[in-house]
Amino acid sequence: MNWAEALPVIFLALMGLAMLAYVVLDGYDLGVGLLLPRAGDADKDTMIDSIGPFWDANETWLVLGVGILLIAFPKAHGMVLGALYLPVALMLVGLILRGVAFDFRVKARDDHKPLWNFAFFAGSGLAALAQGWMLGRYITGLEVNAWTTAFAAVIALLLPAAYVLLGASWLVMKTDGELQRKARDWARIAWPPVVLGMALISLATPWVSESVRTRWFTMPEFIALLPIPLATVAALGATRWLLGSDHVLGRWCALPFVLVVSVFLLGFVGLAYSLYPYVVMDRLTIWQAASATESLAIIAIGCAVTVPAIVGYTVFAYRVFWGKARALKYA
């Protein structure tokens, strides 16, 4: 493999990583946003405090993911985002609303606070629904017919559930007392739709795509791939068991979050395996969609230096705010 062939693969990997980071990181704060109306006023503040220092950086992963799509695979960027024009616009409106509500809710007049709380919830909901819809459309190859539309609609409802599960597990980890108990209950409610969603996606992708079918259901690949669905089932099962016990209220509080993140990770690996080397399912490969090798090389050099640094200071930022969420005060 020479550079011209390897660079698009490297960028695909990087884009996948950025998207995964986005879904996991912004996923938990979108989930917290979706849960906001269920909490009392004091709990609302604690919930926001738990995500306050991170949300700006979390959303930046989306810019990186879409940015790589734009700069490394410009032809795919046009095709994908053109086909998803309206849901993209709705997601952006949602992200704008929640991003600003975050800041406005504590700076505006006190009697406007409920309004901004609602904007935070509504924006989170709109963004999550739109992302679910886009995921549904994307994994059915942007094909538009009754079946794929119905599928996209179902995923649109199930992805928010996954974010709620993630957000509730985050709260179990970052809070204590009554709120932690409540968060555990919320996580339990969100669990069944997540299982349903994972199952639906696993069934739908081989069904709509011949190439996915052959990739998964031929010997000996089938045996080699078996650990992915088995580990997913195990992680989901363990999550459910933990959420039913009191262990998560104490020392094991981080475990559900870690397990749910690993479910996202496994789902991502499965999806990536199904799609590769297509950037749009069965229609456009990464090599067809890629920019010129010279341009990819110059971005690759930048990425080699900056991405480890970004990961480094992201870890640093999380360490600074490690442990249970405390009230945030401007310094």
Partner 1 sequence: MDALVLARMQFAANITFHILFPTITIALGWALLFFRWRWLKTQDAAWLGAYRFWTKVFALSFALGVVSGIVMSFQFGTNWPGFMQTVGNIAGPLLGYEVLTAFFLEASFLGIMLFGHGRVSERVHLVATFLVAFGTTMSAFWILALNSWMHTPAGYVIRDGEFFAASWLHIVFNPSFPYRLTHVLLASGLTVSFLLAGVAAWQLLRGKAQAWTGRTLRVGLTMGAVLIPLQILAGDAHGLNTLEHQPQKIAAMEGIWQTERGAPLLLFAWPDAATQSNKFALGIPKGASLILTHDLDGEIKGLNEFEGAHPPVAPLFWGFRVMVGTGVLMLAASWTGWWLLRRRRWQAAAMPRPMLWWLAGMTFSGWLATVAGWYVTEIGRQPFVVFGLLRTADVASSVSSPMIALTLTLYCTLYLVLIVAYITVVKHMAEKPEAAPAPAGAPVPAPLRSAT
Considering the complex, state which of residue 131 and residue 205 has its C-beta at the smaller distance from partner 1: 131
Q: What is the DSSP letter of 37?
A: G
DSSP code string of 82-98: HHTHHHHHHHHHHHHHH
| Minimum distance of partner 1 from residue 188's CB (angstroms) | 27
Considering the complex, state which of residue 17 and residue 303 has its C-beta at the smaller distance from partner 1: 303
| Minimum distance of partner 1 from residue 331's CB (angstroms) | 2
| Minimum distance of partner 1 from residue 20's CB (angstroms) | 16
Q: Would you tell me how many other CB atoms lie within 10 Å of the CB of residue 269?
A: 16
| Minimum distance of partner 1 from residue 250's CB (angstroms) | 24
Radius of gyration of the chain (CA): 20
Considering the complex, state which of residue 53 and residue 206 has its C-beta at the smaller distance from partner 1: 53
Considering the complex, state which of residue 245 and residue 306 has its C-beta at the smaller distance from partner 1: 306
Considering the complex, state which of residue 53 and residue 229 has its C-beta at the smaller distance from partner 1: 53
Considering the complex, state which of residue 115 and residue 189 has its C-beta at the smaller distance from partner 1: 115
| Minimum distance of partner 1 from residue 247's CB (angstroms) | 29
| Minimum distance of partner 1 from residue 120's CB (angstroms) | 10
Q: By CB under 8 A, name the binding residues for partner 1.
A: 41-42, 45-46, 48-49, 52-54, 56-57, 59-60, 62-64, 66-72, 74-75, 77-78, 81-82, 85-86, 88-89, 92-93, 95-97, 99-100, 102-110, 291-292, 294-295, 298-299, 302-303, 306-307, 310, 313-314, 317, 320-321, 327-331
CA distance 172 to 183: 6
Structure tokens that stand for 64 in this block? 């990186």
Between strands 278-280 and 284-285, the pairing is antiparallel
SS3 33: helix
**Beta-ladder partners of 280:** 284
CA distance 179 to 304: 42
DSSP code string of 54-120: THHHHHHHHHHHHHHHHHH-HHHHHHHHHHTHHHHHHHHHHHHHHHHHHHHHHHS-GGGHHHHHHHH
Considering the complex, state which of residue 254 and residue 300 has its C-beta at the smaller distance from partner 1: 300
| Minimum distance of partner 1 from residue 155's CB (angstroms) | 20
Residue with tokens 């017919």: 145
